[in-house]
Amino acid sequence: MSSPILLDVLLRERTAALLQSSTDYKRYAHHISSMLHKLRIILKVRRRIPAKKAGAATDGDAKSNYTTYAPTAADIAADPRFVGLSMLAAERAWARAMETKAATENSVRIDAPKRQHLRSRLEKARKYAASALSVLVEGGFRDVGVMQVSAYLAVISATAALELHQYDNAAVSYAIAYTALQGLVLSLESSDATDAENDIADLYKDLLTSTVIPALKFSALQADASLRTAAVSVIAHKFLPADHRVTDLAMKIVKDKAKATQLIAGTSEDSEALKILPTIQWRAHTAQVREPAVAGAIVAAKAADEKLFGTQLPATLADVSTKLKASAFDSSLLGWQDAVDAAHEAITDTSTSAVDDSQARVQELYIVSTYAKYNYIARRIARDSILESNIRSSIAKKQKRTGATTFGKANMSNMKALSVLYDTVLQSLTQINDLPGVAVDDALSDALLSVQKYYRSLKFSTDADKFPQGSAESVELLQKAVDALDSLDEMALNLDPSTDDDISARLLFAVDVPTARAQIKKNLASAMAVADATKLAKERKATALKNKDSLPFAIEQLNQTPDFVDLERLVDLKNISTIKPVPAKPVFFDIAFNFIAYDEGTLKAPEAVTSDVSAEAASVVADEAGDKKGKWFWRR
């Protein structure tokens, strides 16, 4: 048996449908109708059943002979899936209402029939949701399911009340929805929560942040303008009925009883943070924090900083790079980004309000926003500094392992990454310069200008490594880096930070200028030496090519270092007149005769020699005999 269709299932369907336009809502309504039809087939129930004779209408009204099937408590007890009939019917009616609302959203004036259709569809959705809740309570359904349907009914009821401009009723319904959804989120939050439970909790949080909380604030302000600076939990507690069932359900389903008590009592971390952080001081400006959400975000960000840095503050950026990892800044950056977003939202709300001191509050909020942005950017620069240190360490390890003195292709990607990091840091410093109040702060402006020159010099030095050593581009970039370092004011970097901005000031301005200057000047001197040697070699080559025909041969200058050696001229013998080839001397035969030994008795006279043969003939015969043995070659 599958699980029943409750609020979590409907929220998944809404998320998957990507509801934005009237066409999306129309398609979603058809999808819900299909789900409802399939569920009726599975549960074997008819869409309409005959009405009772007592409830039969007159002959002229044929529709009154049948009534829509409504599940009972007995049906729910037998099969919990019966609750899906009412929930899907309510969701379909809500989708039809939102289709009409989206179609008329850009209209200056809504026609009365369309307005009536919108309200009737919402009222129909409310009735179906109320029917589902009543049978669940009567049938003894589990507490989590009752809480889900209670939250759904409260949201539908509040939406209908807003359309009728009944702001008090809308605030009450949204307060019930807020308490119910927060209770569901707290019930799912635990150290051993599964991925499915976390996903469901995210669905509830999205509904809270996107619909319930903004609408609750709007309805509460329309009912009571003094609640503008009150926390959401305080507003919800103010409008929540004391004896409503969601309070009891929250105590039952939330595992952490302390959090459940805070939820029911209307206390939250934001309201407590407002007591901890009543004012903000940034540089020479002081602002009162009136919005609980802003105070809560700043206190949470400071708690993340304490967890990141501990009790000992970093003295320099080098300390940050050696003691921390780049990923360790994620929680701190996220906290300060939440503080910036909360301040921006508060500025928007206050600017559009009709309170008397709205301009003064906006000015205070700008100071708070500047303070939050300043801290956020400082930590982002520190994170980029750690990444830069890691990349340089990787480059040094590769050079040590390969024994290379120049940057190869493997390290060229790292050099590009370094250049991108320095661009990011320079953009961050520009963002600080653009913050309100920074331009009139001379000390801070001078410090920011000096630290900009420092990072710009590092970028020039990094870009110079992309070119061959000694090239004109490399020398020019290194010279720019040295000029940038020489032009910065080191005294301006000794900015005296306040207590609150101590971490940010150290992260921004504690840079090592002397070490960077010494290293870059060393690189510049080496590049200039290579450039001078290359230039001299080119000049010698040009001179040698110009005086090519009049230069002496290399054999005549064996004791000198040649300025230029023309390889083609080494084999060109057409102009050589004093050197002649040595003819081969025929001494081979004499040397061979003197040093090759032969066995004695090799040459023998023929055995049969007649007396008539003369001595000369005998010699000829002997020669012929030796000729046959191959020894004639060695005779002289």
CATH number at residue 115: 1.10.3450.40
Based on the fold, state whether residues 155 and 287 are members of the same structural domain. no
Q: CA-CA distance, 338 to 330, in Å (whole number)?
A: 12
Last residue of a domain, one of 240, 271, 302: 271
For the chain, how long is the longest CA-to-CA vector? Answer: 175
Give the range of the structural domain holding residue 140, as residue numbers without chain letter. 7-271
**Residue 358: its pLDDT value, please?**
72
Strand-pair partners of 151: none
Q: CA-CA distance, 336 to 402, in Å (whole number)?
A: 43
Q: Is residue 578 part of a domain?
A: no
Q: Is residue 540 part of a domain?
A: no
Q: Is residue 327 part of a domain?
A: yes
Low-confidence ranges of the chain (pLDDT < 70): 1-2, 47-66, 108, 311-324, 353-357, 402-411, 496-502, 544, 547-636
Based on the fold, state whether residues 179 and 284 are members of the same structural domain. no
Average model confidence (pLDDT) for the chain? 80
Based on the fold, state whether residues 184 and 314 are members of the same structural domain. no
Based on the fold, state whether residues 235 and 325 are members of the same structural domain. no
Model pTM greater than 0.85?
no
Based on the fold, state whether residues 370 and 469 are members of the same structural domain. yes
Based on the fold, state whether residues 239 and 360 are members of the same structural domain. no
Q: Give the single-character DSSP code of 563.
A: S
Based on the fold, state whether residues 426 and 503 are members of the same structural domain. yes
Q: Which H helix or E strand runs over 233?
A: helix 232-239
Q: What is the domain count for the chain?
A: 3
Q: CA-CA distance, 589 to 168, in Å (whole number)?
A: 133
Q: Give the single-character DSSP code of 553.
A: P
Last residue of a domain, one of 466, 501, 533: 533
Based on the fold, state whether residues 155 and 304 are members of the same structural domain. no
Q: Which H helix or E strand runs over 286?
A: strand 285-288
Q: Is residue 573 part of a domain?
A: no
**C-alpha closest to that of 416 among 475, 377, 451, 465:** 465
**Residue 35: its pLDDT value, please?**
93
Q: Is residue 553 part of a domain?
A: no
Based on the fold, state whether residues 70 and 208 are members of the same structural domain. yes
Q: Look-up: residue for tokens 């970097």? A: 493
Q: Look-up: residue for tokens 């009726």? A: 40
**C-alpha closest to that of 380 among 414, 429, 345, 417:** 429
Q: Cα-flanking dihedrals φ and ψ of residue 291, to 5°?
A: -90, 125
Q: Is residue 208 part of a domain?
A: yes
Based on the fold, state whether residues 247 and 288 are members of the same structural domain. no
Contacts of 615 (CB under 8 A, 6+ apart): none
Last residue of a domain, one of 271, 296, 316: 271
**C-alpha closest to that of 169 among 94, 263, 241:** 241
pLDDT tens readout for residues 118-137: 999 999 999 999 999 999 98
Enter the tokens of residue 317. Answer: 């950026």
Q: Look-up: residue for tokens 């061959």? A: 468
Q: Is residue 579 part of a domain?
A: no
Based on the fold, state whether residues 327 and 211 are members of the same structural domain. no
Based on the fold, state whether residues 265 and 332 are members of the same structural domain. no
**Residue 173: its pLDDT value, please?**
94
Q: Is residue 62 part of a domain?
A: yes
